[in-house]
């Protein structure tokens, strides 16, 4: 008996400490939790950086027609006849004496500092223009992927928020079941002491009370874990906890199934990513075909040469020119690359078509699952009412010695199970509604 009293005192202390911690916990609404998750969640931050990287790449690809300017400073020393001849010529120090055969064949070592400023200006580069299109479509695709990641994170936060709310309801149901088990134990003890009951009834009630105490401990721990998961999803540290500030409710969909499927085809970001992927494959095919076209560019060079110092100017010179480069034959590499791009584009088209079909199916499935969850909730609600009435009647019969303790405890067990099913059904209905919005691509719009 002393051991049991110690266990009861420990349980009460645990529940009391849980209540104190709950009072100190930060409470947050669903909108606040989603906003915080989208801002602080590491996956959301990574997705934003990936989109930024893709945008920077597209911007860089679009600058191909701007001129490139290069500054080069080089030093060399040599006694090779050709090198020393060119060094003196570039430095403007070449004289008639340097035509002496002995000096030409056996020149003294010479040094040269060469400063070169070169400017290259692309004029016509079809492959670069097509490459810009590839990069732009890739950036748009990454933007869609990033938005899809945001939708997924928001839905994940919604699920965890719902888990905390469900854990609260389960704990309340466990506490109520515990109170009822204590009352049954008290009744059994009183009846046994008065000689109106059996010792076995008292023991059976004690067993039921112990089971409800264990269930209560598990429910309290589940609530703590649910709070920790919610805090982690919203960018918190391991061990942090967040509690819900308001009941979570979602309105029934206003659109019919066909309307939701049409919205999904327009709003689903993963589908938009597939569309951008197909357009990127189109641009990649254009880029490979551009390899058959000529490229035209201009170049300008200004050069200074000095014998003694870097960036010196014993003599300077310049050169300008225009070049045309045409890939006439490269061993059929460009031809086969074009074939590869055509096949990749065909694959992208097929993937896009399959994605559209899957989106329609997912919306249809979510619609049916929501209808199922709604009907299950109605059945669970009716079951709780029936079980509650049955327990009430059996309690009165037990008080009048017209029912056994076993019958009363069986009725209470059925009531506890019905309450648990109702909590689960209520959470599943809200989750099914949220999943329907998520599958239609409008989850953030609906919850915000």
One pLDDT digit (tens) per residue for the chain, 448 residues: 333 343 343 434 444 444 444 447 889 888 999 999 999 988 889 999 999 999 998 888 888 888 999 999 999 999 898 888 888 888 888 888 778 777 788 888 999 999 999 999 999 888 888 888 899 999 999 999 999 999 999 999 999 999 999 899 889 888 988 888 888 888 778 877 877 677 777 788 888 889 889 999 999 999 999 999 999 999 888 888 999 988 888 888 888 999 999 999 999 999 999 999 999 999 989 888 888 889 999 999 999 999 999 998 889 999 999 999 888 888 888 888 888 989 999 999 999 999 999 999 999 999 999 999 999 999 999 999 999 898 888 888 877 777 777 788 888 888 888 888 888 899 899 999 999 999 999 998 888 7
Of residues 82, 74, 76, 68, the one with CA closest to residue 119: 68
> Is-contact 436 365, C-beta < 8 A?
no
d(CA 375, CA 142): 40
CB atoms within 10 A of CB 162: 22
Of residues 428, 427, 381, 421, the one with CA closest to residue 173: 421
User: pLDDT tens digits for 222-258?
Assistant: 999 999 999 999 988 888 899 998 888 888 888 899 9
Would you say the C-alpha torsion 345, 347, 353, 358 has a positive or negative sign?
Answer: negative
Residue 223: predicted pLDDT: 93
Residue 127: predicted pLDDT: 84
**What is the biggest distance separating any 2 CA atoms in the chain, rounded to whole angstroms?**
139
Of residues 265, 257, 248, the one with CA closest to residue 431: 248
d(CA 288, CA 336): 9
Question: Which residue(s) pair with 316 in the sheet?
Answer: 304
Specify the 3-state DSSP secondary structure of 351: helix
> Is-contact 150 444, C-beta < 8 A?
yes
d(CA 262, CA 284): 30
Kindly report the pTM of this predicted structure. 0.77
248 to 30, 165, 174, 426: CA distances (angstroms)? 7, 8, 21, 11
Nearest-5° Cα angle at 140, 134 to 146 = 135
Residue 12: predicted pLDDT: 41
324 to 61, 177, 192: CA distances (angstroms)? 21, 87, 108
Residue 229: predicted pLDDT: 93
Of residues 160, 115, 119, 157, the one with CA closest to residue 317: 115
Of residues 290, 279, 281, 275, the one with CA closest to residue 130: 290
- Backbone dihedral angles phi then psi of residue 87, each to the nearest 5 degrees: -60, -50
Ordered structural domains, the chain, with CATH: 2-64+126-292+335-447 (1.20.1600.10)
Would you say the C-alpha torsion 61, 62, 64, 66 has a positive or negative sign?
Answer: negative
């Amino acid at each position: 008996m002393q051991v049991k009293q110690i266990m009861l005192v420990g349980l009460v202390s645990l529940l009391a400490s849980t209540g104190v911690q709950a009072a100190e916990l930060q409470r947050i609404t669903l909108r606040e939790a989603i906003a915080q998750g989208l801002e602080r969640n590491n996956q959301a931050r990574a997705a934003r950086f990936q989109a930024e990287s893709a945008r920077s790449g597209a911007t860089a690809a679009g600058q191909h027609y701007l001129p490139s300017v290069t500054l080069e400073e080089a030093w060399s020393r040599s006694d090779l006849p050709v090198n020393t001849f060119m060094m003196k010529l570039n430095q403007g120090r070449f004289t008639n004496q340097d035509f002496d055969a002995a000096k030409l064949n056996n020149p003294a070592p010479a040094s040269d500092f060469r400063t070169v400023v070169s400017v290259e200006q692309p004029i016509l580069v079809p492959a670069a223009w097509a490459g810009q299109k590839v990069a732009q479509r890739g950036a748009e695709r990454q933007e869609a992927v990033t938005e899809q990641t945001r939708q997924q994170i928001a839905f994940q936060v919604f699920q965890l928020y719902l888990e905390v709310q469900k854990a609260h309801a389960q704990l309340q149901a466990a506490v109520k079941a515990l109170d009822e088990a204590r009352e049954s134990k008290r009744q059994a003890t009183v009846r046994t002491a008065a000689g109106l009951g059996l010792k076995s009834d008292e023991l059976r009630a004690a067993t039921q009370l112990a089971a409800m105490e264990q269930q209560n401990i598990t429910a309290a721990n589940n609530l703590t874990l649910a709070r920790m998961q919610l805090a982690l999803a919203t960018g918190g540290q391991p061990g942090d906890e967040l509690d819900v500030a308001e009941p979570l409710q979602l309105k029934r969909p206003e659109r019919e199934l066909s309307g939701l499927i049409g919205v999904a085809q327009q709003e689903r970001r993963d589908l938009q990513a597939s569309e951008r992927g197909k357009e990127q494959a189109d641009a990649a095919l254009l880029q490979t075909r551009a390899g058959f076209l000529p490229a035209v560019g201009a170049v300008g060079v200004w050069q200074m040469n000095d014998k003694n110092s870097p960036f010196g100017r014993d003599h300077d010179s310049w050169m300008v020119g225009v070049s045309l480069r045409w890939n006439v034959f490269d061993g059929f590499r460009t031809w086969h690359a074009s074939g590869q791009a055509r096949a990749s584009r065909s694959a992208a088209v097929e993937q896009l078509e399959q994605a559209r079909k899957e989106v329609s199916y997912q919306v249809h499935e979510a619609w049916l699952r929501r209808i199922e969850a709604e009907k299950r909730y109605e059945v669970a609600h009716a079951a709780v009412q029936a079980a509650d009435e049955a327990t009430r009647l059996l309690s009165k019969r037990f008080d009048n010695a017209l029912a056994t303790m076993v019958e009363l405890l069986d009725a209470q067990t059925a009531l506890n199970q019905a309450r648990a099913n109702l909590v689960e059904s209520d959470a599943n209905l809200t989750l099914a509604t949220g999943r329907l919005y998520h599958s239609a691509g409008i989850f953030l719009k609906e919850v915000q």
